[in-house]
Amino acid sequence: MPMEEQPHFRVPLSLLLIFSLFLLPTSFSSTHDLQILNAERRIDLTSHIIKVYLTLKVENLETSPASEVHLAFSPAEAEHLAIVKAAATSGKRKKKTYIPLDVKSAELPDGPNGTKFFTVTLLTPLNKGETATLEVLYILTHSLEPFPVEITQSESQLVYFRDSAILLSPYHVKEQTTFIKTPSTRVESFTVVDPAKRAGTELKYGPYEDQPPYSYSPVLVHFENNNPFAVVEELEREIEISHWGNVQVTERYRLVHAGARHKGAFSRVEYQTRPDATGVSSFKHLLAKLPPKVHSVYYRDEIGNVSTSNLRTDYRKSELEFQPRYPLFGGWKSTFVIGYGLPLQDFLFESPDGRRYLNFTFGCPLTQTVVDKLILKVVLPEGSKDPTAVIPFQVDQHLEIKYSYLDVIGRTVVVLEKSNVVPEHNVPFQVYYTFNPIFMLAEPLMLSIAIFLFFVASVSYLHADLSIRK
């Protein structure tokens, strides 16, 4: 397919060499016992959540076995990095198998300043001359820069994406290729680092051969992206457990359109009559994927209940499609609350050691959404002790006390906080705790005592002589 003619940027070779030398460390450690035989990187820019798929074939060069592979990220990537996953692969095509690998943050003393490293632990150490193939997925948020930063209702949204044509790695790379996929064929400009070409919605950089450790070649892509830039600035999810048979979930959202800011007047008539030509980067519908068997679902904002919603349920899932009172353009915000109930038996279980535990889903129910700050609160029944949260990634944890109706000592609340949350964080987590069933009688007993005292007070009042005459 012939390459289309597009305006582009050319970076002088001398500038690239100077930039690469600046990133090189002054001395290399002898611990670089691996080399990358082949690296293929595919960058998906079709959404505002950037997904990068990296395939590495590594080889051990030293006599001692190698059990770890290091991944390097530039300071700009490290600032917006949401998640890193890795898996070992074997087989080809339909018979290929994936085995998840442990990934942890690490530090290398010889890395450039600001570079962040992650260590992937291999299933079995590599002996000299042996190779292994790794599949890595990492996700970046807030990495697309709107340009222009303000657009009118009738304009499309253009964004910048900055990266490197050459993979940043602490190892020598024998051969590598980078592919960049854009949402549409409209690419205003892109940096050319030969060999580079564009065909349709895909940019190809490479193949490049024999790149030394920490090589870097900056590229800039300017393209159209009209997908909704839905960002939840803060989400507070409260999951309240009642041993009387119900789990009540309340979610408070502060949503913003994080794309190019809207300028000028807004015409609702034009927006409704010409939806394909005006406000193409705005959004008015949101989809929340809820657990199955939900009941008592409501959606309201600061004004009150909003009826523009549609709930679809079956035995496997529930989907709530709703729209705010007004469409969201760049820079516009919306605050709302979603609440629903769930059957207790589907989410509360008993472990072999006698403890009870809640099994629920972490993350945000809204699809294709970034959460800048997520606060998840699990409200345990009164009398619960020794709470422990089990989560497959790092979060901040602490405990609180909440008082509700008829509470005496208060309810223990497990608070989990995490920043930069993406849909890949929507995985199950557990909260374990011990509970004495005698505490279930506390509230009925208090209610019975209150009714009895009220009855005694009423009888005493009726039989009392409160007159002031003999």
- The verdict on whether omega for the bond into residue 12 sits within 30 degrees of 0, i.e. cis, is no
Integer CA distances (angstroms), 383 to 376, 380, 407, 436, in order: 21, 8, 10, 7
- Specify the higher pLDDT residue, 293 or 438: 293
Minimum mean pLDDT range among 95-109, 134-148, 224-238: 95-109
Residue 80 has pLDDT above 90, yes or no: yes
Q: How many helices (H) and strands (E) does the chain have?
A: 4, 32
- Give the per-residue pLDDT at 4: 41
The model's pTM is 0.85
- Give the per-residue pLDDT at 309: 85
Condensed to tens digits (0 to 9), the pLDDT of residues 40-55 reads 999 999 999 999 999 9
Residue 15 has pLDDT above 50, yes or no: no
**Element spanning 452, H or E:** helix 442-463
Are 347 and 359 a contacting pair, CB within 8 Å?
A: yes
User: Within 13 Å, how many C-alpha atoms sit on residue 227's CB side?
Assistant: 17
Query: In the structure, what pLDDT confidence band is assigned to residue 28 with cuts at 50, 70 and 90?
Result: very low
Minimum mean pLDDT range among 69-73, 95-99, 289-293: 95-99
For the four alpha carbons of 73, 83, 88 and 102, in that order, the dihedral sign comes to: positive
* Per-residue tokens: 430: 């557990």
Q: How far apart are CA 166 and CA 161, in angstroms?
A: 15
Dump strand ranges (E) for 200-269: 202-211, 218-224, 230-242, 246-257, 261-262
Domains in the chain: boundaries: 9-224, 230-444
Condensed to tens digits (0 to 9), the pLDDT of residues 179-198 reads 999 999 999 999 999 999 99
- Give the per-residue pLDDT at 398: 96
The domains spanning 9-224 and 230-444 adopt the same CATH topology: yes
**CATH architecture classification, 230-444:** Sandwich (2.60)
Query: In the structure, what pLDDT confidence band is assigned to residue 20 with cuts at 50, 70 and 90?
Result: very low
- Give the per-residue pLDDT at 441: 62
Query: In the structure, what pLDDT confidence band is assigned to residue 24 with cuts at 50, 70 and 90?
Result: very low
**CATH architecture classification, 9-224:** Sandwich (2.60)
- Give the per-residue pLDDT at 443: 66
**Element spanning 86, H or E:** strand 81-90
